[in-house]
């Protein structure tokens, strides 16, 4: 393998990996405040990009994306208020069934609205053939957009949880819900907020990646599996580890094309997921005890 | 300040509290003592709003609060230091305290928060030293101090504490009880739940004895300390063997 090809694979790995990481962080945010795995997480990514695509004919790209993210966040809030909020300490199984049901529901609604057509947002800068060359490695500018936007988003998210009062409130609910209520924090609103945040970052990821991967009503399922694998790989609830795990999975997938047919690409993440669940259910970086200490 | 009339509460089909009536006047330290499983924690959770009473009346500053959610009750000036400390273990000491002051943030009294933080650090110098440390890595005694400090950050008029001496060394227990009487001197009202009856009664003005969800005895602390039943059951004096001698 030539050095250029090697770096080409690395860049592709990072691009997909960071998207997986964002989906995984979406899982983590909701998991941390509620203990729920929201299997409709991938659908937020789909909704974000599909809504933005539908809006682009009527407004500038940036405005369409912002609006799409806001709409997706509102949908996230609505889902929480309609289907989750009124449940009084539901069982894990019931929550899994509810969120899987929600993902199917959202997908069917999307199919009814947008059909089966494959669509895409336009490239943010340049087009599909433009590329920037770094010493023989050709990178599409959109790849830089994906990596840049997602990195900034992760950093902002970290700062939000660490330095703002609302972020602290959400972490307090994750650490100890009852104690948070005793401080006067409305835990239910924090849960709604965590759904909005997860939906929002998923939508942003969906928009930046859409020009490269294209969007379709059912794109969420695959992303949810990859994101879930990454979340488990990094240790459920741990967002920084999710970034590392995401990049790892993305790179492994990217190099796998080199040694086996592309069709097996998706099988890799499922295999990793099963392996991790069998061998290290606390994740690569976590121990079982740390699982009980939830942190964003 | 606080008045309960015939309060009944429980979990699911299990009824834990049976017609409990107590009252706490402003500036008092009142203690509730009772054995394991008597329902002390259930009683405090019911007052704090974590548990809805089945029936009965709870008045705080003459306002009915029975059935109000916990987050509303803190805002009215009634704070609970929960059993087992329940600090936010993944957050720093300072963050724990700031969250305790959430009530003040919400009321846009940010300047008060800083002043209160100063005061708290004066009372608990150990917490200032450990400001940036994760609360989960504090010792048991320090965590208890933090839990009390966090509740104080909301500026409560009534502070309820659920077994603050649990699992702590005698010296630390002494320190905590000193702080409790200091709180009364500052004009706060304290409702103290304890299994350590001797220590609790020595600092309290009045006490109630809770047995299997019922108030079976009440009175000034001195009277309870003298009471033979209390001595037998909670102060560990074996009267029967003393008589035999
Ligand atoms: N979450 C719960 N669900 C069901 N039953 C409970 C729950 N919490 C407490 N109980 C029951 O209620 C009764 C009273 O418990 P509570 O915790 O109020 O006792 P306590 O006086 O605080 O005891 P301790 O001194 O051990 O803390 C016990 O019989 C207990 O088993
Ligand atoms: Mg108790």
Per-domain boundaries in chain A: 3-295
Instruction: Give the chain A residue whose CA is nearest to the CA of B159.
Output: A182
Tokens linked to A267: 């099988």
Pair type for strands B78-81 and B214-220: unpaired
What's the predicted TM-score (pTM) here?
0.89
Does B86 contact A168 at a Cβ distance shorter than 8 Å?
Answer: no
Do the chains contact at A168 and B99, CB–CB below 8 Å? yes
Selected residues 10-49 of chain B with any CB under 8 Å from a CB in chain A: 48
CATH code of the domain in which B93 resides: 3.40.50.300
Tokens standing for residue A284 = 């690569």
- Average model confidence (pLDDT) across chain A: 89
- Residue B216's pLDDT band, with cuts at 50, 70 and 90, is very high
SS3 B20: strand
Report the DSSP beta bridge partners of residue B22: B4
From the list A175, A183, A187, the residue facing B154 with the nearest CB is A183
For the stretch B224-242, pLDDT in tens is 998 888 888 877 655 555 5
- Residues in contact with B22: Cβ distance below 8 Å, sequence separation at least 6, in sequence order: B2, B3, B4, B30, B32, B208, B215, B218
Ligand 1 atom with least separation from CA of B40: 21
Q: Which of B80, B99, B155, B161 to mutate to test the interface with A (most CBs of A within 10 A)?
A: B99
B98 Cα to the center of ligand 1, angstroms = 30
Asked if pLDDT for residue A15 goes beyond 70, the answer is yes
* Ligand 1 centroid to residue A178 C-alpha, Å: 16
Helices (H), B3-124: 40-48, 70-75, 93-100, 102-106, 110-123
Mutating to test ligand 1, I would choose from B10, B41, B162, B216 the residue with most ligand atoms within 8 A of its C-beta, which is B41
Closest CA to B42 of B11, B71, B13: B11
Q: How confident is the model at residue B70 (pLDDT cuts 50, 70, 90)?
A: very high
CA of B200 to the centre of ligand 1 (A): 20
Gap between the Cα atoms of B104 and B226, Å rounded:
43
Q: Are A194 and A217 contacting, i.e. CB atoms less than 8 angstroms apart?
A: no
In three-state secondary structure terms, A73 is helix
- What's the pLDDT at A296? 53
> Which residues constitute the domain of residue B153?
2-244
- Residue B165 Cβ contacting ligand 1 at under 6 Å: no
pLDDT of residue B242: 55
| Overall number of domains in chain B | 1
Q: Is B82 on the interface with A (CB under 8 A)?
A: yes
Residue B51 Cβ inside 6 Å of ligand 1? The answer reads no
Over residues A176-189, mean pLDDT:
95
Q: Which residue has the tokens 């790209």?
A: A61
Chain B residues with beta carbon closer than 8 angstroms to that of A168: 91, 95, 98-99
Q: Whose CA is nearest to atom 29 of ligand 1?
A: B37
Percent of chain A residues topping a pLDDT of 90: 66
> Cβ A175–B91 below 8 Å, yes or no?
yes
pLDDT band at A294 (very low <50, low <70, confident <90, very high): very low
This model of the complex carries an ipTM of 0.92
Mean pLDDT across A273-296: 67
Give the Cα separation of B129 and B121 in Å (integer): 9
Residue of B192 and A3 predicted with greater confidence: B192
- pLDDT confidence bin for B84, thresholds 50/70/90: very high
The helix (run of H) or strand (run of E) holding residue A5 is helix A3-34
Indicate which residue's Cα is closest to atom 16 of ligand 1. Answer: B39
Most ligand 1 atoms within 8 A of CB, residue of B8, B9, B11 to mutate:
B11
Cα of A184 vs its chain's centroid, Å: 31
What tens digit of pLDDT does each residue of B3-33 get?
999 999 999 899 999 999 999 999 999 999 9
Instruction: Write down the pLDDT at residue A36.
Output: 84
Residues of A in contact with B158 (CB under 8 A): none
Task: Convert A34-55 to b/e letters by CB count within 10 Å (16 or more is b).
Answer: bbbbbbbbbbbbbbbbbbbbeb
Looking up tokens 């306002």 gives B63
Contacts of A253 (CB under 8 A, 6+ apart): A13, A16, A265, A268, A269
- Across the interface, of A171, A174, A182, the residue whose CB is closest to B80 is A182
CATH topology of domain A3-295: ABC transporter involved in vitamin B12 uptake, BtuC (1.10.3470)
Question: Are A183 and B106 within 8 A, CB to CB?
Answer: no
Task: Judge whether residue A105 has pLDDT over 60.
Answer: yes
Q: Is the pLDDT of residue A288 over 70?
A: no
Report, as an integer, the average pLDDT of B118-128: 94
According to DSSP, the β-strands at B29-33 and B214-220 are: unpaired
Most B CBs within 10 A among A89, A184, A188, A237, hence the mutation to make, goes to A184
More confident of the two residues A1 and A62: A62
A175 and B88 within 8 Å at the Cβ level: the answer is: yes
Q: What digits encode the pLDDT tens for the residues A213-226?
A: 999 999 999 999 99
Tell me the CA–centroid distance for residue B38 and ligand 2, in Å: 8
- Out of A172, A181, A185, closest to residue B91 by CB: A172
User: Over 90: is that where the pLDDT of B61 sits?
Assistant: yes
Task: Tell me if A179 and B74 make a contact (CB, 8 A cut-off).
Answer: no
Question: pLDDT higher for A130 or B100?
Answer: B100
């Amino acid at each position: 393998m030539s050095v250029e090809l090697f770096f080409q694979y690395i860049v592709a790995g990072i691009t997909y990996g960071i998207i997986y990481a964002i989906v995984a962080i979406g899982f983590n945010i909701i998991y941390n405040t509620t203990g729920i795995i929201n299997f409709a997480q991938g659908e937020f990514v789909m909704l974000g990009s599909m809504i933005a695509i539908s809006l682009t004919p009527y407004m500038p790209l940036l405005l369409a994306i912002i609006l799409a993210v806001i709409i997706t966040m509102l949908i996230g809030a609505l889902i929480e208020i309609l289907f989750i909020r009124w449940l009084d300490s539901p069982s894990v199984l019931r929550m899994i069934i509810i969120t899987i049901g929600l993902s199917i529901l959202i997908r069917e609604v999307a199919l009814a609205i947008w059909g089966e057509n494959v669509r895409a947002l336009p490239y943010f800068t340049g087009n599909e053939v433009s590329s920037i060359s770094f010493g023989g490695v050709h990178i599409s500018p959109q790849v830089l957009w994906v990596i840049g936007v997602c990195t900034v988003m992760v950093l902002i998210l970290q700062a939000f949880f660490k330095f703002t009062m609302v972020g602290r409130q959400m972490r307090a609910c994750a650490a100890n819900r009852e104690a948070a209520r005793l401080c006067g924090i409305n835990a239910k609103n924090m849960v709604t907020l965590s759904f909005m945040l997860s939906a929002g970052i998923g939508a942003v990821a969906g928009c930046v990646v859409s020009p490269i991967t294209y969007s379709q009503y059912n794109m969420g399922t695959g992303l949810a599996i990859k994101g879930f694998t990454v979340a488990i790989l990094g240790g459920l609830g741990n967002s920084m580890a999710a970034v590392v795990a995401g990049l790892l999975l993305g790179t492994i997938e990217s190099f796998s094309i080199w040694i086996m047919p592309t069709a097996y690409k998706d099988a890799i993440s499922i295999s990793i997921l099963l392996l991790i669940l069998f061998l290290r259910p606390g994740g690569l970086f976590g121990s079982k005890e740390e699982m009980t200490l939830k942190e964003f | 300040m606080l008045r309960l009339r015939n309060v009944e509460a429980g979990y699911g089909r299990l009824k834990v509290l049976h017609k409990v009536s107590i009252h706490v006047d402003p500036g008092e330290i009142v203690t509730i003592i009772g054995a394991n499983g008597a329902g002390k924690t259930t009683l405090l959770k019911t007052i704090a709003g974590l548990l809805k009473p089945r029936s009965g009346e709870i008045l705080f500053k003459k306002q009915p609060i029975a059935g109000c959610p916990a987050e509303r009750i803190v805002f009215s000036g009634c704070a609970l230091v929960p059993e087992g400390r329940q600090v936010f273990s993944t957050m720093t000491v300072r963050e724990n305290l700031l969250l305790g002051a959430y009530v003040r943030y919400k009321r846009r009294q940010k300047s008060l928060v800083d002043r209160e933080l100063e005061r708290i650090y004066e009372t608990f110098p150990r917490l200032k030293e450990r400001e940036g440390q994760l609360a989960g890595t504090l010792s048991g005694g320090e965590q208890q101090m933090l839990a009390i400090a966090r509740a104080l950050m909301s500026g409560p008029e009534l502070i309820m504490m659920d077994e603050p001496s649990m699992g702590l060394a005698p010296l630390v227990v002494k320190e905590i009880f000193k702080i409790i009487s200091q709180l009364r001197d500052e004009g706060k009202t304290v409702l103290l739940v304890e299994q350590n009856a001797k220590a609790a009664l020595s600092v309290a003005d009045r006490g109630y004895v809770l047995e299997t969800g019922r108030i079976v005895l009440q009175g000034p602390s001195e009277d309870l300390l003298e009471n033979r039943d209390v001595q037998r059951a909670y102060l560990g004096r074996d009267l029967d063997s003393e008589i035999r001698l």
